[in-house]
Structure 1
Amino acid sequence: MDDRPASSALLSPPELSPLEQEVLDEYERLADNMKTLASMLDTMAARPTTEILDGLRELERKTSLVFTLLKASVYSIVLQQEIDWGDQAQH
């Protein structure tokens, strides 16, 4: 069974090897992905700067909160281990 898109399978010249056709198909997929990326970047660039900055500020606040919670969790674990080790040393 051929996994190539029907359009490229119908248009492929007979002198291309299967590997060459795979490379061309991969380039076609890459070109489509680049077009999609360009479209998304155009959409993002069209957004107002203040909206983007507000989104980044919100992301920064959330990231800061997660980092603080992570530090507190690690500190709590380390402190609990030290307490446990101290109890074991006394017995």
Structure 2
Amino acid sequence: MESNDTASALSAPGEDLSPLEQDVLDEYERLAENMQKLASLLDSMANKPTAEIVDGLRQLERKTSLVFTLLKASVYSIVLQQEIYSGANDGVGSDGER
């Protein structure tokens, strides 16, 4: 990975790095390694999905769909309330009468 090589090159002996800079580079290198492991694990899971993974994805899809529907309903309710409120204010005269 290119970013991993960059971190290794920057932390080469002979460089004048502060301890904090070295710690940041070390953490960056660990993060890059973990991301690489995660990517390879996800790749292997995607190429050979198990029944358990497929079932879990189906459940996730149903829950996501439900959340999306509830979100749309909430947004619709807010928009409707604003329209009712603005309609009520538009019809009121300066003396409070319609």
Q: Which TM-score tier does this pair reach, normalised by the shorter chain?
A: 0.5 to 0.7
Give TM-score scaled by structure 2 length: 0.55
User: Percent of pairs identical after alignment?
Assistant: 68
Q: Show structure 2 runs of 5+ residues with no match.
A: 1-10, 93-98
Q: Which runs of 5+ in 1 are unaligned?
A: 1-11
Per-residue deviation at 1:27?
A: 6.8
Distance apart, 1:25 and its partner CA: 3.7
1:49–1:81 Cα change, 3 Å: same
Following the alignment from structure 1 to structure 2, what is the Cα–Cα distance between the partners of residues 48 and 17? 46
Q: Which has the higher helix share?
A: 1
The 5 Å alignment of 1:36-47 reads 36-37=37-38, 41=41, 45=45
CA distance in 2, matches of 1:53, 1:74: 31
Residue aligning to 1:89: 90
TM-score (norm 1): 0.58
Distance in 2 of aligned mates of 1:18 and 1:74: 55
| Residue 28 of structure 1: how far off its partner (Å) | 4.6
CA separation in 2, counterparts of 1:75 and 1:27?
44
CA RMSD in angstroms comes to 3.5
Question: Aligned residue pairs: how many?
Answer: 75
| Alignment correspondent of 2:67 | 66
